[in-house]
């Protein structure tokens, strides 16, 4: 997974709360750690075999290589608090002005 820009969770929530109500939020970082460790092991294989890495890098799309880097670093980043896996349940706020036909003020 490669992203152009990172946004903090707090920034995301601030924007979301303008139109949505937060019904539930939970940090699932520890729940996904076994999967992150699996990705780390796969990424380690890529980096510990430089010849294979060069061949793969010349064949596969750049996004796949980015995934190897991300997979390799993700568990450490999560343990250090640089990244988290949040589950956030939002509900769109009702716009009573739309239902009644009255202008929103």
Summarised one tens digit per residue, pLDDT across range 64-101 is 887 888 888 999 999 998 888 999 999 998 764 445 44
Whole-model pTM: value is 0.65
CA angle 87, 44, 68 (to 5 degrees): 55
State the CB neighbour count (10 A cutoff) for residue 102: 9
For residue 76, give both structure tokens.
């450490």
At 15 the pLDDT is: 92
CA angle 13, 18, 77 (to 5 degrees): 10
Residue 27, pLDDT above cutoff 80 = yes
Residue 104, pLDDT above cutoff 90 = no
Summarised one tens digit per residue, pLDDT across range 28-65 is 999 999 999 998 998 888 888 888 888 888 998 888 88
At 2 the pLDDT is: 55
At 42 the pLDDT is: 85
User: What is the four-CA torsion angle of 29, 65, 39, 79, rounded to 10 degrees?
Assistant: -40
For residue 65, give both structure tokens.
């290589």
The domains of the chain are located at 32-93
Residue 1, pLDDT above cutoff 80 = no
Percent of the chain that is helix, strand, coil (3-state, to 5): 55, 15, 30
Cα(45)–Cα(42) distance, integer angstroms: 5
């Amino acid at each position: 997974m490669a992203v152009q820009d990172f946004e903090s969770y707090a920034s995301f929530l601030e924007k979301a709360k303008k139109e949505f109500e937060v019904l539930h939020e939970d940090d699932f970082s520890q729940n996904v750690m076994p999967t992150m460790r699996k990705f780390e092991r796969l990424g380690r294989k890529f980096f510990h075999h430089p010849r294979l890495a060069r061949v793969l890098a010349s064949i596969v799309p750049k996004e796949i290589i980015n995934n190897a880097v991300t997979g390799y670093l993700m568990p450490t980043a999560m343990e250090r608090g640089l990244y988290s896996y949040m589950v956030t349940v939002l509900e769109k706020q009702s716009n009573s002005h739309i239902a009644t036909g009255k202008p929103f003020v």
